[in-house]
Amino acid sequence: MARNKLKILIAGGGIGGITALLALRQRGIEAELFEQAEAFRQVGAGLQVSNNATRVLRTLGLGDALARVTYYPEGRDYRAWDTGDRLYYTPLGQRAEARFGAPYYTSHRADLLDVLLGGLGREGFRLGARIERFEQNADSVTVTLADGGTATGDILIGADGIHSTVRGQMFGKELPRYTGNVAWRGLVPAERVAHLDVAKVTGVWMGPNRSIVQYYVAAGRTFNWIGISRSEQPARESWLAEGRVEDALAEYSGWHDTIRTIIRETPKLLRQALYDREPLPDWQIGRVVLLGDAAHPMMPFYAQGAAQSIEDAYVLAGCLAASQDDPVAALSRYVKLRQPRTAWMQGLARREEELYQMTDAATIAERNARMRTNRIPESANFPPEQERLYGYDAEAVLHA
């Protein structure tokens, strides 16, 4: 039973930080979140919210709200970039829900954020509150904000994203690694691509040096696509950098008509450089700990960055609730439970780049032949890495 004596400070109001606040509240633990922006950032494009993440969100009471604003893809198609041939298929939809005990959705980031904020209400956070630094002693941790104000608590969670200030103070201000890839992101009103008759699946199109992932969001009203392509020229790492349709068309020149039409119909494009980091062996120093992209930024090939931050948040809240007399030990337990899984994910996401974006024609032909032969029949089980990923039960992990 929670005794309401801990006070937790959270740096950052992204998906990870807000989920942490919700999960702590659910356990009866007081927390205050500090977000540097004047408003929560309702920007970005599509996100896949896989079963492992929706299981947590349901536990937090957000299942119905999430179901209303998201899309429920039937499966995942892997297709050849030029002919559009289906090379491989794995089921999602009912099959995945039955297997993993929670649904797999695709969502606009803003809709997911709205669902989280709906659970939050109006209290427990400060906007326009940038954390500049922290100091800790044997009993507490104090943050100093950009406006000179301070706040003191028992624990500080650094959920402040890939450029984390908290991480910088803990482990040095090392820059993230440019992955050599940029992402193109577009949202298209569904009626503008209806004539293409795109299947109700998450589609992965794999071509030389670049790929495209596409799916519906917003209960099917909007069509989302993400193109990832190799580029020597890092653009801004931001949700907000705008790209040009003609540049994206040039990038995807020679691609299947379906893809080129989708790009052409996109009213506004975002373009962002992709960064990640090597796995960090430990995320804790004393009363301070990291979560989400601050701890383990990863390439988006497995669509797991936000999902992992949601898992982190739930497990961290559970560890703190179970060890309120010794919150520092709770942080160590959290890191022990979470670091191996996210390090595995970071590695898997990097390796997936090789599969999606091969360079030469012979290797591509070989991969396509292999994928066709390995094709999973509708009745088969899920691939082992999907079992490990989507079958993760954050509540069960706390009791193992």
Ligand X SMILES: Cc1cc2nc3c(=O)[nH]c(=O)nc-3n(C[C@H](O)[C@H](O)[C@H](O)COP(=O)(O)OP(=O)(O)OC[C@H]3O[C@@H](n4cnc5c(N)ncnc54)[C@H](O)[C@@H]3O)c2cc1C
Catalytic residues: 215
CA angle at 204 for the pair 347 and 185, rounded to the nearest 5°: 85
Distance (Å, whole) CA 335 – CA 331: 6
Give Dmax (Cα) for the chain.
64
Closer residue to ligand X in complex, CB, 106/258: 106
Residue 388 binding ligand X, by CB under 6 A = no
| Residue span binding ligand X (CB under 6 A) among the ranges 36-44, 320-328, 368-376, 385-393 | 36-44
The residue (of 270 and 368) whose beta carbon lies closer to ligand X is 270
Contact between 200 and ligand X by CB under 6 A: the answer reads no
Closest to ligand X by CB, 22 vs 47, is: 47
Query: Which residues on neighbouring strands pair with residue 181, listed in sequence order?
Result: 230
For residue 35, give the 3-state DSSP assignment.
coil
Q: Does 110 bind ligand X (CB under 6 A)?
A: no
Task: Give the range of 30-38, 113-121, 249-257, 382-390 binding ligand X by CB under 6 A.
Answer: 30-38
Torsion of the alpha carbons at 117, 93, 225 and 195, rounded to the nearest 10: -120
Name 50's bridge partners.
Answer: none
Q: What H or E segment, with its residue span, contains residue 214?
A: strand 210-217
Under the binding rule (CB under 6 A), the answer on residue 248 touching ligand X is no
The single-letter code of the amino acid at 333 is: R
Which helix or strand (DSSP H or E) is residue 245 part of? helix 245-251
Angle between helix 51-59 and 93-100 (nearest 10): 60
Q: Which of 10, 340, 319 is nearest to 159 (CA)?
A: 10
| Site map 285..314 versus ligand X, x via CB under 6 A | -------xx------x--xxxxx-x-----
36 binds ligand X (CB under 6 A): yes
364 binds ligand X (CB under 6 A): no
Which residue, 2 or 67, has its beta carbon nearer to ligand X?
Answer: 67
Binding span for ligand X by CB under 6 A among 34-42, 167-175, 327-335, 378-386: 34-42
Binding mask 47-86 for ligand X (x = CB under 6 A): xx--------------------------------------
Instruction: Please count the helices (runs of H) and the strands (runs of E) in the chain.
Output: 13, 19
Q: Which residue has the tokens 């069960």?
A: 396
* Cβ proximity to ligand X, 91 vs 305, nearer residue: 305
DSSP-based helix, strand, coil % in the chain, nearest 5: 40, 25, 35
Torsions phi, psi of 49, nearest 5? -115, 95
Q: Which one of residues 13, 91, 119, 243 is an interface residue with ligand X (CB under 6 A)?
A: 13
Cβ proximity to ligand X: between 11 and 368 the closer is 11
Binding ligand X (rule: CB under 6 A), the pick from 6, 9, 14, 339 is 14
Segment interacting with ligand X, rule: CB under 6 A, options 7-15, 90-98, 324-332, 370-378: 7-15
Tell me the site size for ligand X, rule CB under 6 A: 32
Q: Give the C-alpha separation, 104 to 95, whole Å.
A: 10
Rounded-to-integer distance, Cα 309 and Cα 294, Å: 9
Binding residues among 149-178 for ligand X as defined by CB under 6 A? 159-161, 165
**CB of residue 82 vs ligand X: minimum separation in angstroms?**
23
Interhelix angle for 15-26 vs 305-322, to 10°?
30
Q: How far is the CB of 382 from ligand X (least distance, A)?
A: 18
What are the residues binding ligand X (CB under 6 A)?
Answer: 11-17, 34-37, 41, 47-48, 130-131, 159-161, 165, 183, 226, 274, 292-293, 300, 303-307, 309
